[in-house]
């Protein structure tokens, strides 16, 4: 099973770079990958919270800002998640350092379909964010659902 998962990850470019590992030591390379994906998540959250504030009426709707935040979120979602998810960087292997569940690897490519859902939701958001509050609200809601769609199966609850 582990072997199958590894093969699938390699085929999809989801394996970590051998160079990084040799230069850096295995543990450090894994920690860097974890930090990178957590940082990417923070970028998602930053952009989404600005849009969410407008959608909820906590901030004034601003078409230009909404378009910019949506574009930035969509760009971030296009960063390849592959190298940031090396085998062995799950919460079973690295307890206390990551909340990514081993299940993300053992059920691969399920996690990629969740990433694809985020990508299409943010692409739609880019299209409608500048066209008025109603469209923004619906599209922001759909993006939020796509975040949750991956967190629910693949992220461990906070300790």
Residues that bind ligand HEC (CB under 6 A): 34, 37-38, 41-42, 44-45, 48, 98-100, 111, 114-115, 118, 143, 146-147, 150-151, 154-155
For ligand HEC, the closer of residues 41 and 65 by Cβ is 41
Q: b or e along 80-119 (b: 16 or more beta carbons within 10 Å of the residue's beta carbon)?
A: ebbbbbbbbbbbeeeeebbbbbbbbbeebeebbebbebbe
For ligand HEC, the closer of residues 2 and 158 by Cβ is 158
Query: Among candidates 125, 104, 127, which has minimal Cα distance to 114?
Result: 104
For ligand HEC, the closer of residues 87 and 98 by Cβ is 98
Give me the least distance between CB of 53 and ligand HEC, in Å please: 13
Cα→Cα distances 19→24, 83, 90, Å: 8, 12, 20
Cα→Cα distances 97→27, 92, 100, 116, Å: 11, 10, 9, 26
Give me the least distance between CB of 41 and ligand HEC, in Å please: 3
Give me the least distance between CB of 132 and ligand HEC, in Å please: 21
Q: Which two tokens stand for residue 39?
A: 């940082």
Give me the least distance between CB of 113 and ligand HEC, in Å please: 9
Query: Tokens 């004034």 — which residue?
Result: 60
For ligand HEC, the closer of residues 32 and 99 by Cβ is 99
């Amino acid at each position: 099973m582990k072997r199958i998962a590894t093969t699938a990850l390699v085929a999809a470019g989801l394996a970590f770079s051998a160079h990084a590992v040799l230069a850096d030591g295995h543990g450090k390379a894994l920690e860097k990958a974890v930090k990178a994906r957590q940082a990417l998540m923070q970028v998602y959250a930053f952009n989404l919270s600005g849009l969410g504030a407008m959608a909820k009426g906590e901030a004034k709707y601003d078409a230009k800002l909404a378009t910019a935040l949506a574009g930035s979120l969509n760009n971030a979602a296009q960063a390849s998640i592959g190298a940031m998810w090396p085998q062995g960087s799950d919460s079973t292997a690295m307890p206390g350092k990551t909340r990514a569940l081993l299940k993300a690897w053992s059920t691969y490519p399920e996690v990629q379909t969740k990433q694809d859902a985020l990508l299409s939701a943010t692409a739609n958001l880019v299209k409608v964010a500048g066209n008025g509050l109603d469209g923004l609200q619906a599209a922001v809601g759909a993006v939020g659902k796509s975040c949750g769609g991956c967190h629910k199966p693949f992220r461990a609850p906070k300790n």
